[in-house]
Amino acid sequence: MNKRNSLKATALALVAGVFTQPKTSHAASGELWFPGDPPQHKLVYQVNRADPDYINHILGSLRAMVVQYGDNVALAVVAFGPGIHLLATRPERPVSLEARQRIVGFANDYGVELVACGNTLTGLGWGADRVVSQARIEEVGASALMTYQEKGYAYIAW
């Protein structure tokens, strides 16, 4: 076979291979993911308790997700009920300064979205100044969880 026919045969084999490959998801296909691409993984955490061990488990899980997936995961934390104290500038429940600094660090350093429940704030008589500036306030925290799930986020609650 001469060079020209060899090139034609190679090109034909490549084209045939492209069209006969099974359809697979982006992640399962082994395709490369590059920083700046939309994340392949999405996870939203519900925080509804102010218990220190509970909060530390959630913070540990956030850290593990960042370590495992880096920029290839979108993370969100929705706080309501007693969990709102994790996002408070002056919590009235026993939430450590370290835990509050860690959650703010996740928002600042890794883009973790923080959401505070407006109904919980109203019930406590708190204004927007009582939550960290990195958090956005949604009127209904449960609604924010639902919206994240509708956008393809997996939902984690302890």
CATH number of the domain where residue 134 is located: 3.40.1260.10
**Residue 12 resides in a domain:** no
**Residue 10 resides in a domain:** no
Mean pLDDT by 10 residues, the chain (158 residues): 54 44 41 81 97 96 96 97 97 94 98 98 97 98 98 92
Closest CA to 33 of 78, 69, 84: 69
**Residue 50 resides in a domain:** yes
Taking the C-alpha atoms of residue 47 and residue 116, their distance in angstroms, rounded to an integer, is 10
Q: Quote the domain boundaries for residue 151.
A: 30-157
**Residue 100 resides in a domain:** yes
Number of domains in the chain: 1
**Residue 41 resides in a domain:** yes
**Residue 91 resides in a domain:** yes
Contact (CB, 8 A) for 137 and 99: no
**Residue 130 resides in a domain:** yes
Q: Output the CA torsion sign for 70, 45, 141, 147.
A: positive
**Residue 4 resides in a domain:** no
